[in-house]
Amino acid sequence: MDAIDSTFVSSVGKYVDRFEEMIRDYTGAKYAIATVNSTAALHMSLLLAGVKRDKLVVTQSLSFIATCNAISYIGAEPLFVDVDMDTLGLSVDKLATFLKNKTEIKEGYCYHKQTWRKISACVPMYTFGHPVELDKIVDLCNQYQILLVEDAAESIGSTYKGKHTGTYGLFGAFSFNGNKTITCGGGVIIINDEKLGKLAKHLTTQAKVPHKWEFVHDHIGYNYHLPNLNAALACAQMEMLDEFISKKRELASAYQQFFLDKPEFHFYIEPKKVDQIIGLMLY
């Protein structure tokens, strides 16, 4: 109501800033840039990671279409590696085997031997909020000179070894679509690098050079910023995030009980190995 009364419902307003601050505090990231959705957040992250037309991006074969759409917007192509059954996310073993057998490092860049195309980035995704073995994925990416961009769309509230998902890579993208844990509509990019953080804010807001009356745009910009009205909803929901997560855990356990006597179904439960928090998703 405050956002509506203020008349700042769209492009600018205090709730966008407040939401970005809440995301920074919650995830521990240095920069948070609220976006119109997570597909846009992923697109911007890949652009800023330097992914270019005709390059390759390693990602997992199980994901929502937006992961590949964001790669395709640039004219790059996804290369699929399988997931593990216990996390439903990118398999470290399969990724290691793929990189060892199918790629070669030349002059500091990783090339796919079959096509001699450069592999620019790796995009794991956290199915239903469950993190993959991120420390090992980070090691592999460093070893093969590949930038890590996390499709953390489903994982607000999930941590791995004490760190929030999205903070392991150069960029992390979260979604607040209606089927997520926070449902205000929109997304966010988190970044730890100051230069990239400022550039992401600039490019997602039409790349306008700040000036009282002149309209000077110094890059090709994108109209990707989150409206203030959505940000107001986001702030209110962020205050309830822990409650949402515990309710989703209760729901997951109710479903688990329901499927106990139905051996024809394999009910997927939250892996106990690490300290992540589940975001049960309902489609």
Q: Which residues are paired to 171 by β-bridges?
A: 149, 191
Between 128 and 144, CB nearer to ligand PLP = 128
At residue 105, what is the residue type? I
Helices (H) and strands (E) in the chain, counts: 9, 11
Exactly one of 59, 165, 167, 175 binds ligand PLP (CB under 6 A); which one? 175
Q: Is 176 exposed, middle or buried (0-12, 13-18, 19+ CB in 10 A)?
A: buried
Between 147 and 153, CB nearer to ligand PLP = 153
In whole angstroms, how close is the CB of 132 to ligand PLP at the nearest point? Answer: 13
Is 187 among the residues that bind ligand PLP (CB under 6 A)? yes
Exactly one of 27, 45, 59, 63 binds ligand PLP (CB under 6 A); which one? 63
Exactly one of 27, 37, 159, 230 binds ligand PLP (CB under 6 A); which one? 37
Torsion of CA 27, 181, 68, 40, to 10 degrees: -70
Is 20 among the residues that bind ligand PLP (CB under 6 A)? no
Residue 247, Cβ neighbours under 10 Å: how many?
13
Q: Are 239 and 219 in contact (CB under 8 A)?
A: no
Q: Are 149 and 49 in contact (CB under 8 A)?
A: yes
Exactly one of 31, 64, 128, 244 binds ligand PLP (CB under 6 A); which one? 64
Q: Which range binds ligand PLP by CB under 6 A, 15-23, 64-72, 191-199, 210-218?
A: 64-72
Is 171 among the residues that bind ligand PLP (CB under 6 A)? no
Binding-site ranges for ligand PLP (CB under 6 A)? 37-39, 63-64, 66-67, 125, 151, 153-154, 175, 177, 187
